[in-house]
Amino acid sequence: MGFLVNIDNGGTFTDVCISDGTRLVHAKSITTPHDLTQCFIEAMKRGSRELFGDEDLAKLIRETDCLRYATTSGTNAVVEHKGTPVALMVEVGEEDKLYGAVVADSGLWQAMVPQRPVALKVAAGGAIDAEELTKTINQLLSIGTQRLVVCLRTAAAEQNVKDALLDRYPRHLLGAIPFLISTELVNDLDLSRRVATAVINSYLHPNMEHFLYSAENFCKRQHLKRPLLIFRNDGDSARVAKTTAIKTWGSGPRGGLEGAAAYANLYNLKNVVAMDIGGTTTDVSVIQNSAVALRPYGEVEALSTSFALPKLQSFGLGGSSIVKVSAGEIVIGPESVGAVPGPACFGRGGTSATLTDALLIAGILDPERYLGGELKLDRARAAQALLAEVAVPLGGSAEAAALAVIAAFQVQVGAQLKQILAAAGVAPQATTLLAYGGGGPIIVSGIAQAVGIKQVIVPRLASVFSAFGIGFSHLAHEYQVPMTTAVAGAVEQAKAELGTRARRDMAGEGVEPDLCTYQYSLWSAGTDAVVEEPLTNGKLSLEGRHDPRVTLKAVFQLPVSQLLPDSAKALPAPASHGTIELLLAGEQHQSVAVYDDQALTPGHSLTGPCLIKGDYLTCLVDSAWRLTVTSNQDLVLTEGKA
């Protein structure tokens, strides 16, 4: 088989994972927010170097069967408010209702819709006054409107607007205004959710379109066999032409959750708390019964949308989070220095103290091996930043400041985990912590101990786990029709309508519709949860269901990431690769054994304290913990000696 390539474009690093069924390699590059195509290409270059020994990007792309990509572009645009502003058209009377408490306080909404929505009179049956519409559009064009979102009460009214716009402003004219009809994006009876969904999508669309087609065209020039696939926040993938911009928001973290669900199934774990510590944030979600938990109406910066999104909580605690002292207490984040200028130890102009600087001073991070040796860390700069930002305000040394920062980080992340587990009704001792991301494994045993969690799994590909998780996705599309009646004719009509759309779209993906699977379900919104059950030909009842919808998911199976069930036989501890002096509690240096992650094989067992080091993995095993290696080469940490 050819190569399977998965790329996760994060806020700090861009990760790549490559497999061919027998080998599995990975690499990281620094994200280039000014031009995401650069880090997209650079990640693949580094991946080709890991795969072939020498860099050969053209060969990698030419021999790739499936290239999946999750991009941070949409997420960045939302966070930084750097999309394309839109004009919003609603029905008369709706323009005032939009300004509720959430919208009024939303900086994102003000950036997306800077002008007051324009109101259009709609008569019975959805009829509109075409001349009134023309005057309104001319006014919008005169003030430089770049995009228009049409969100009326009924699909019929929206289609009348569309017909009139195309008649008076054909799309082949340079002066034609790009517009989005909300009911063509999502079929939601709730107008406020539909408005938010359509506006966000239109706000993200232009930049996303430009960037993703640029990436796809690059791959085409390198002779990629099939179109670039974009991984979405619903856990599936599709080609660029069939992807809506809003579906890319938060797609990278969803990759990690798909991987976490696969691990829960692999190790037969009922409760898993997935923790992704990156450079900027820590993302946490509880996986129960091997399924990603969903909110029926996902929120984008407090704006409710029409799409379900994962129950993923993100907080500003990461390796690049800025550390300060306030009122005698250490405060970490939410501000971050990112990868550029980065932590002080990066030597790229950053002067703020961060967790990364503290880990370097404590001896946990190897200054010569960070990012596979691509980035040398500067211990003196780290000490200077910690001294200025933490040690001087608190009184003490840079070493004491480093220990205090590490302890504060563990306590703060631990407190967040406790709250999330309590909300999910899961006891810490009844769950397993799955730690991934570049920072997830480093001090995970201390975090687990702060929460009361007794078992931790560090995936072999922890540093690129979201990229690895993307590899569990298939080429798929999902469709929904709201149901207001359960009569057989309405259900069959909905199924027929969805089936026609699904077959058309799968053909547009370049696959044979007859080779796809089609699963109909009855969807409804529970209490902060999605309720979904197979739709049979029997009697359908909508009683007690909130917002019921007939859904259809069309799936074309793709080759996916592989995991090995654990059958490893116990082996004694391997020989260490020497010792290292770590700064531990009380500013005391302690000599601990160091093990290379590549030297650990299934069945190996170690007791803490010890340090696992690799090009992209660092994991400190505290003295109260032991470690075993599974058949999948994952690290399982358990509290208590063997």
Among residues 137, 247, 237, 165, the alpha carbon closest in space to that of 200 is found at 247
Helix-then-strand count for the chain, H and E: 17, 32
Which residues contact residue 222 at a Cβ distance below 8 angstroms, ignoring those fewer than 6 apart?
57, 58, 61, 62
Residue 539 has pLDDT above 70, yes or no: no
What pLDDT is stored for residue 415 in this prediction? 96
Domains and CATH numbers, the chain: 3-78+208-248 (3.30.420.40), 82-201 (3.40.50), 253-467+568-642 (no CATH), 475-556 (3.30.1490)
| Segment 298-337, tens digit of pLDDT | 999 889 999 999 999 988 899 999 999 999 999 999 998 8
Q: Sign of the C-alpha dihedral, residues 535, 540, 546, 551?
A: positive
The one-letter code for the residue type at 36 is L
What pLDDT is stored for residue 100 in this prediction? 62
Is residue 318 within 8 A of residue 358, CB to CB? The reply is: no
| Segment 178-208, tens digit of pLDDT | 999 999 999 999 999 999 999 999 999 999 9
User: What count of Cα atoms within 13 Å lies in the side-chain half-sphere of residue 524?
Assistant: 16
518 CB neighbour count, 10 Å cutoff: 15
| Segment 25-51, tens digit of pLDDT | 999 998 888 889 999 999 999 999 999
Q: Sign of the C-alpha dihedral, residues 347, 348, 349, 351?
A: negative
Token digits of residue 148:
């228009």
| Segment 220-229, tens digit of pLDDT | 999 999 999 9
- Give the C-alpha separation, 595 to 580, whole Å: 10
What pLDDT is stored for residue 398 in this prediction? 95
Is residue 207 within a helix (H) or strand (E), and if so which, with residue range? helix 191-221
- Give the C-alpha separation, 66 to 561, whole Å: 11
Which residues contact residue 543 at a Cβ distance below 8 angstroms, ignoring those fewer than 6 apart?
none
How much is the mean pLDDT over the chain? 93
Coil/strand/helix, residue 435: strand
| Segment 569-580, tens digit of pLDDT | 999 888 899 999
What pLDDT is stored for residue 17 in this prediction? 97
- Residue 401 burial (CB < 10 Å; 0-12/13-18/19+)? buried
pTM for the model:
0.93
Mode of pairing for the β-strands spanning 618-621 and 625-629: unpaired
Coil/strand/helix, residue 597: helix
Is residue 576 within 8 A of residue 593, CB to CB? The reply is: yes
Among residues 67, 74, 87, the alpha carbon closest in space to that of 3 is found at 67
Mean pLDDT across the stretch 379-393? 97
Is residue 494 within a helix (H) or strand (E), and if so which, with residue range? helix 488-508
Token digits of residue 367:
């200054």
Residue 350 has pLDDT above 80, yes or no: yes
pLDDT range class, residue 439, cuts 50, 70, 90: very high
| Segment 600-636, tens digit of pLDDT | 999 999 999 999 999 899 999 999 899 999 999 999 9
What pLDDT is stored for residue 101 in this prediction? 53
What pLDDT is stored for residue 636 in this prediction? 98
What pLDDT is stored for residue 99 in this prediction? 59
Which residues contact residue 71 at a Cβ distance below 8 angstroms, ignoring those fewer than 6 apart?
9, 36, 208, 211, 212, 230, 248, 251, 252
